[in-house]
Chains A and B, each alone.
Chain A
């Protein structure tokens, strides 16, 4: 974890979760960049809390700690019942492939061991993620394109879906979900290296995330290239999805 600030709030929340959830708490994980010590100042923090059962009546005392952590470090918590894990992983396979690849168990026993990542589901789920990005970002682009700083944020927001789906594509192609899932950045780079404008856009995406700046006048071109990459990924994922289903 990059800062004491993140650590402070994460451990405050964990302590509160242990107290408020009691015996219902089975496992508590950090996942994503927080699990890999790659948090930046403005990164959000993702947590997975596996419960025996979620109870709307008894778990409410967690509110202050959750609000505090949300305000202070943008903590987002996925509360999931143990019995729901596999079915949720089947629906949001790309997400769970990423969680399985990049997580850190903070409390309790490891509930992710038995989760099966199915390749056809992974391809389908990754394609949904790309399509969702395309649909969402087009509207946002048309609203915000005249403001460079907004456009940079929009480009930065493409990193998560594009990297995750690139990793998923590589994984499905290799027939092993674990292949590349831990490094979406590398997977995206590998898939776009052959095209100079895509490659530049992918580098711009990293710069937008890490420094919140881009060379003047490049943002629109990068956004356009990212849309092309998304189109490519979507088509490729559909292709491997069809192949996997037919197998």
Chain B
């Protein structure tokens, strides 16, 4: 049966089914929009806790882990909740650009840790990490707009236009409900968020969790001192909450303001919810909320 010949209510049922099917199709596609490349990215992360933290939970978590590492090494002090300080001379003792920028940021006086995202140098260091993760195919780019979205929008627009033309040619003017449905479906299709992580990103995190399962089991036993970087690596992958507050009493002061319940929640994406953030990305809010993000 040719759908454009369907009577009004029947066509609306067909149209609703078509709209929902396209939304589901897009959603499913975006969930698995990239096929895993099979490349092993894990090696790079064993000695890169900041990149791992960024991949895992976004910019807030990355800042948190950087501050944790610096405090653990005696190069920064946590003074109160979300308040850190440091000394400019410590910049000579660090090599990572984010460490350098964060120490400089906190060097003049006590600063809010998570507001550091607005500092130019910190923002640049975070952007560099984000760009590398995108270039490696582990994080989705903000500009990601797959062809399937365009095709779906085209189909929906074309069906709507043809039906409106057919209806008008038959002298029917009751097309308001169709237009309303069309607007709803088009908006939903346009704003379906892409996941923060690509398939490779998810695989990498999953592999890292497997490869460091033993480390997770002894997180409570890890001691301060930063000698082996185990605590930073564990916190980046499994969260600061897994470490002992007895050994690291300042953990509560540097935990991101919006509690991160799980890495999975970061998949909800944030390109839409935090599009006004700095260019440090959509992922800066991934799962970590938008605390202090330009608002």
Contacts and interface: CB of A to CB of B under 8 A. Distances in A.
Contacts of B218: 42, 74
A70 B227 CA distance: 11
Given A70-B228, A70-B230, A41 B214 contact: yes
A5 B46 contact: no
A132 interface: no
Contacts of B212: 71-72
Interface string A42-84: 1000000000000000000001100110111110000000000
Contact of B214 (A64, A67, A68, A72): A72
B234 interface: yes
A67 B226 CA distance: 12
Contacts, number: 38
A74 B212 CA distance: 10
19 contacts: A5-B211, A5-B214, A9-B211, A42-B214, A42-B217, A42-B218, A63-B47, A64-B46, A67-B46, A67-B228, A67-B229, A71-B46, A71-B212, A71-B229, A71-B233, A72-B46, A72-B214, A72-B215, A74-B214
Interface string B189-211: 00000000000000000000011
Instruction: Summarize B's interface: helix, strand, loop or mixed.
Output: helix
Interface size class of A (residues with CB under 8 A): 10 to 19
B25 interface: no
Contacts of A5: 210-211, 213-214
A67 B211 contact: no
Interface size class of B (residues with CB under 8 A): 10 to 19
A71 B228 contact: yes
Contacts of B230: 70-71
B58 to A, nearest CB: 22
Given A71-B233, A72-B214, A72-B215, 20 more contacts: A5-B210, A5-B211, A5-B213, A5-B214, A9-B211, A41-B214, A41-B217, A42-B217, A63-B47, A67-B47, A67-B228, A70-B228, A71-B212, A71-B215, A71-B228, A71-B229, A71-B230, A73-B214, A74-B214, A74-B218
